Amino acid sequence: MRRVALFVDAGYFWVQATYIVHRQRLGRESITIDYLQLRAELIHLAQAQFPDADLLRVYWYDGPGTYGKTAGHQAIEDLDDFKLRLGTRNGVGDQKAVDGLIIADLISLAQSKSITDALLLSGDADLTPGVLAAQSMGIRVHLLTMGPAEATSPFLRAEADCKTHWEDDAVKRFVSAARSSSASGNSQQAMAVVPQAGQFPAEQINLADVAQITFDARSDQEKATIPEKGSLPQEIDRRLLRAGRDAAKRSLEDGEKRQLRAELRKVARNS
């Protein structure tokens, strides 16, 4: 008997969902989720991918809010067949341990033979080792992506057994612009505000500009240490993420951090 579990990287989901609605990277408060419709669409998609498999459950991985569970987390917990899995936050508010939870659950379910198939909604390269480990135990791992192609790691994509893209029109059946953010976003765009160097409106953060400013502030010796692939040097990464937080005036989502790092590597490569 085949059984499938769904693994949702919520950080990736939220970043791509806001981009699909607004065509720019905004905070979670800029969109509204119809959670019942989200459940219906996600399970329908899984059934189409695995027509002869039973559903174990949907695992939803996220970091906690500033004061623990958010209203969105509670909405996920209220859904049938969904299980909320929360990571942690460090001293500066960044989400931690979410990738580790996904990998641990993927491997544990594979080892116990609780599932034969996995559907992973993510674009994070850090999950690639977990995918490989599960596959070595006989699990087929299908990758579900959202948003622009560059938001998904080519390394993760290359290892997936099957790739499916969640089309924007399907996502918009359960995601819409929040009323307040839609109004303020339109007015900001109409004003055509041009930020000073190193300063960005909270809802108009340009990750490419943040990366360029961070790169320009580094010494030639530091610039030479930025790799084309893989992890950034710790000090440069710390300064980059701090610049992103300062520009956004909020903690960055995991997907924004990945994109910001990719932008810095692109700047270094083209310099």
Indicate the domain borders of the chain: 2-176, 193-270
Residue range 80-92: mean pLDDT, rounded: 82
- What's the mean pLDDT when you consider all of the chain? 86
Round to whole Å and give the CA distance between 12 and 115.
23
Report pLDDT for 168. Answer: 96
Round to whole Å and give the CA distance between 261 and 237.
8
Percent of the chain scoring above 70 in pLDDT: 87
Query: Per-residue confidence at 96, pLDDT binned at 50, 70, 90?
Result: low
Residue range 41-45: mean pLDDT, rounded: 95
The pLDDT tens digits of the residues spanning 176-215 come to 999 864 444 443 443 333 333 333 333 446 888 888 888 8
The pLDDT tens digits of the residues spanning 45-73 come to 999 999 999 999 999 999 888 778 889 99
Report pLDDT for 156. Answer: 96
Which two structure tokens, joined as six digits, stand for 26? 């905004």
Residue type, 34: D
Percent of the chain scoring above 90 in pLDDT: 60
Round to whole Å and give the CA distance between 157 and 145.
9
Alpha helices (H) in the chain, listed in sequence order: 10-22, 35-49, 71-78, 98-111, 128-136, 154-159, 168-171, 179-191, 207-216, 220-223, 234-248, 254-270
Report pLDDT for 49. Answer: 93
Top-confidence residue, 4 or 29 = 4
The pLDDT tens digits of the residues spanning 229-253 come to 888 998 898 889 888 887 777 777 7
199-205 contact pairs (CB < 8 A, 24+): 199/247, 200/247, 200/248, 202/27, 202/248, 202/249, 202/250, 203/24, 203/26, 203/27, 203/30, 204/24, 205/25, 205/244, 205/247, 205/248
Half-sphere exposure of 167 (CA within 13 A, CB side): 3
Half-sphere exposure of 258 (CA within 13 A, CB side): 20
Nearest to 33 by CA among 229, 186, 172, 201: 172
**Does the pLDDT value for residue 1 go beyond 70?**
yes
**pTM of this structure:** 0.69
Round to whole Å and give the CA distance between 209 and 44.
39
Are 258 and 230 in contact by the 8 Å Cβ rule? The answer is no
The pLDDT tens digits of the residues spanning 128-171 come to 999 999 999 999 999 999 999 999 999 999 999 999 999 999 99
Top-tier CATH class for 2-176: alpha beta
Give me the helix-helix angle, 234-248 and 207-216, nearest 10°. 130
